Structure 1
Amino acid sequence: MRISTGDRLKQIMKERNLKQVDILKLAAKHSQEGVKISKTDLSQYVNGKTEPRQDKLYILSEALNVSEAWLMGYDTDKERIPNDKRENKDDQIKTLAAHHEGDEWTEEELDELEKFKEYLRSRREK
């Protein structure tokens, strides 16, 4: 059973004695061009009102050094796969196209597939 990102954020805040402002500071260091996590965003995630988009989930997971799948609430290892160990996005697209006979995938679908692949890898490593 999957728990919410908000519950995972509360868990990590408790474990590391962090406040929302601490997470915002960490996330600011990992923000990407045009993508930031605001106080409102984080408050809504923590309180379970909304779930972060993929780009914001990535920033949070990078800032907290946890896997995206774990942060999303999946029953997987918390440990983050370093960026240099992750597959290149172009390689992912080629691999998916080869395995799905040229089906067209949206960026969102590719992101979801990548999350699922990470989840499966983490379960295999247990």
Structure 2
Amino acid sequence: MNIGERIKSLRKQKGLTQKELAKLSSISEISIRKYESGDRQPKQKAIYHLAKALDVNEGWLMGFDVPMNREEDAFLAKQSEELTSFIRYLEAIKYLIRFEKDLRDDKKPNDRDNETFIVTISKDNITVEFTEDEFKEFQDVIKKSIEFEIFKANESNK
């Protein structure tokens, strides 16, 4: 299920109209309609507001293999916060991020325990796909690169 399908399914489960969800999430009704139809992908800020309005985990709404319900577990909360911040950073520097269920031939279609996702990053006519694990590794490499640049700047200021 893609993000638009998840939004629509949850909205209907909760007995909300698109107009009501728009009001709860502070997102326009037109945007809700476009997200649900797949005509537009919500940006991270919209995902945050939709997840909050629908009372679900942002990561789950984006398609990650995390619990659907909002978790109070500090570890999961930290992971979601880090992931959300990283995605916001990528969007801030004008990358388009998409999350889709991994439907490659080597995956069993209804194996929910092993359901994985592909993360697609696009900018300037260049598109790269990552598995979940590759995306986590990519995130870690970027984080370490930033830490190293800060370390170098700090050392040169001594």
1:16 deviates by 1.2
Matched, 1:108 2:66: no
Say how many residue pairs are matched.
89
> Given the two structures, how large is their TM-score scaled by the length of structure 2?
0.46
Q: Which runs of 4+ in 1 moved over 4 A?
A: none
Question: What is the percent sequence identity of the aligned residues?
Answer: 33
- Rg comparison, structure with higher value: 2
> Given the two structures, how large is their TM-score scaled by the length of structure 1?
0.56
Aligned to 1:22: 20
Matched, 1:47 2:37: yes
- Alpha-carbon separation, structure 1, partners of 2:4 and 2:59: 13
What's the RMSD between the two structures over aligned residues? 3.4
Bigger relative contact order, structure 1 or 2, given CA contacts below 8 A and separation 6+?
Answer: 1
Unmatched segments (≥5 aa) in structure 1:
29-36, 97-105, 121-126
Which has more helix, going by share of residues? 1
Which has more strand, going by share of residues? 2
Query: What SS does the corresponding residue of 1:13 show, helix, strand or coil?
Result: helix
Instruction: Please tell me whether the aligned partners of residues 11 and 54 of structure 2 are also in contact (alpha carbons under 8 angstroms).
Output: no
1:28-107 alignment runs, 5 A limit: 28=26, 37-81=27-71, 85=74, 86-87=77-78, 107=89
